[in-house]
């Protein structure tokens, strides 16, 4: 009897025990192609099939967890390295950051809304903190002129007290500044990501008597565009 025939018989014996192709390859060195050719007609019991299915599922979960751990490790490495690339920021950097942030997320004056005051809405705590820092340090807005409004869907059923405490802690403003809460009646779409216990709605920050200040910010935005040589694009869109 030749060596290859001995390998075939051993493969058949192991398969009859319910071993997978991978498990058989761990015991005898043979290609998967040969195993398929030799073993494809060998029936497995229901118990053996279940074992192989469970093992395959466990293998996929294990592999997925390994990939997840590697992805987390790599993400932390990249983010950590990128954080180190940011040089210390001064007041001018804060001014530019706040101006561009307002351009992206702030309420701008329009033809149908020419007297829009400074107003900014978001649910990201870090973004809101930067905006408040910008108001205080670059625009010299006094705390008593800052107005807060909370918007949240009724679906979340959070009380005014819960919402006020949350946003007061985030912004470091007193609780009495968060008495205005609007509960939206429309349904929450299932594809929204910002859902669950950690969602506390959207915080709208506005400044009293700030129509001219909003116009000034508009000028800053145009000025930034001029400096970056994209002013024609902005004026065409305005």
Residue 186, pLDDT score: 64
90-94, 136-140, 230-234: the lowest-pLDDT one: 230-234
Each residue of 18-50: b (16+ CB within 10 Å) or e? ebbbeebbeeeebeeeebeebbeeeebeeebee
Residue 228, classed as helix, strand or coil, is coil
Distance CA 72, CA 13 (A): 43
Distance CA 188, CA 158 (A): 15
What is the average pLDDT value for the chain, to the nearest integer? 89
The string of pLDDT tens digits covering residues 194-205 is 556 778 999 999
Question: 148 forms bridges with which residues in the sheet?
Answer: 205
């Amino acid at each position: 009897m030749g060596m290859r025939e001995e390998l075939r018989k051993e493969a058949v014996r192991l398969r009859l025990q319910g071993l997978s192709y991978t498990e058989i390859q761990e015991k005898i060195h043979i290609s998967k192609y040969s195993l398929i050719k030799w073993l494809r007609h060998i029936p497995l019991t229901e118990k053996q099939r279940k074992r192989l299915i469970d093992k395959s599922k466990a293998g996929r979960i294990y592999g997925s967890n390994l990939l997840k751990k590697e992805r987390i490790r790599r993400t932390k490495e990249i983010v950590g390295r990128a954080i180190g690339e940011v040089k210390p920021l001064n007041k001018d950097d804060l001014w530019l950051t706040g101006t561009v942030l307002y351009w992206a997320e702030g309420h701008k004056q329009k033809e149908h809304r020419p007297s829009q005051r400074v107003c900014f809405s978001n649910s990201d705590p870090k973004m809101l903190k930067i905006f408040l820092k910008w108001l205080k340090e670059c625009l010299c807005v006094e705390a008593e002129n800052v107005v807060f409004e909370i918007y949240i869907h009724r679906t979340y059923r959070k009380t005014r007290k819960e919402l006020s405490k949350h946003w007061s802690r985030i912004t470091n403003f007193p609780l009495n500044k968060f008495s205005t809460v609007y509960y939206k009646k429309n349904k929450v779409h299932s594809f929204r990501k910002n859902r669950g216990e950690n969602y506390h709605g959207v915080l709208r920050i506005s400044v009293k008597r700030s129509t001219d200040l909003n116009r000034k910010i508009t000028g800053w935005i145009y000025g930034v565009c001029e400096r970056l040589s994209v002013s024609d694009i902005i004026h065409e869109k305005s």
